[in-house]
Amino acid sequence: MEFRKIFDTIPEQFDRYRPRYSPALFQDLIEYAGVGPGKAVLEIGPGTGQATDPILDTGCDYHAIELGEHLCGAMQRKYGERPNFHIACDDFITHDFGTQRFDLVYSAAAIQWIPEEIAFSKTFELLKPGGTLAMMLTVSEYRTTNPALYEAIQKVYDAHFRPETRYTHGGFDYESAPDYGFVGFEKREYPGRRTFTAEEYVAFCGTHCDHMVIPEPHKTRFFDGLRDAVLSAGDRIVFNDTYVLYLTQKPL
């Protein structure tokens, strides 16, 4: 199974444990893009709505395109009764948007699954003149919050992290947007923090695509090792998060 489709196999777990984003990030994005009633917005790959509520709540004309059938179903159950909510279960790469054009196109940790040339060229085409492309992601670390726990977890990775397929999608260059005609490119960062128990941490790690494809017996040993490490550290692991927001516009 393609990594970009694997999340569709765990919609409930994905919904519960995937990180949300900073309220300050959304406040800046909404102000920057002028999102509100009468504005058309497209979210690429919303998952189960990790970055949906603040945008939908503005009263904009919200549209989403989600590849996963089960993820799309979760979105429909959450938001389907909202009159400004619309979603298509399809592949952004091949979907025909017809004459639809948007004031804002945005993605939360999803656009990197699309080949860069298609991602930037198609979003540029879909935006109205002066429209905004926003891309957000979370960068996390727990080494500084507990160095000893970090080392214990690294030993578990060294011993049992044996995915059948390696994650190779780290090459998406967000800063290439100006090469495709976008202007005013900027990067903003917002701090955050998450705390997990051992069970919560194991469940969260189980939403990582390359962790999901570890074969047995390594998979059981790997997740048991993670659980034991956090339990030995007081049943607590703390992540320092940085929510990254890239903003750029289609010229007027």
What is the bridge-based pairing of β-strands 61-66 and 85-89? parallel
3-state secondary structure of 157: helix
Q: Which domain holds residue 102?
A: 3-249
Whether pLDDT at 57 is above 80: yes
Write out pLDDT tens, residues 22-52. Answer: 999 999 999 999 999 999 999 999 999 999 9
Among residues 83, 127, 84, 77, the alpha carbon closest in space to that of 105 is found at: 127
Residue 169: pLDDT band (50, 70, 90) is: low
How many domains does one find in the chain?
1
Mean pLDDT computed over 241-251: 98
What single letter denotes the amino acid at residue 252?
A: L
Among residues 79, 104, 11, the alpha carbon closest in space to that of 87 is found at: 79
Write the CATH number for 194: 3.40.50.150
pTM, to two decimals: 0.93
Write out pLDDT tens, residues 196-241. Answer: 999 999 999 999 989 999 999 999 999 999 999 999 999 999 999 9
Among residues 150, 171, 145, the alpha carbon closest in space to that of 241 is found at: 145
Residue 137 pairs in a beta bridge with: 244
**Cβ(51)–Cβ(43) below 8 Å:** yes
What CA–CA distance (Å, rounded) separates 114 from 111?
A: 6
Whether pLDDT at 18 is above 60: yes
Residue 191: pLDDT band (50, 70, 90) is: very high
**Cβ(41)–Cβ(104) below 8 Å:** yes
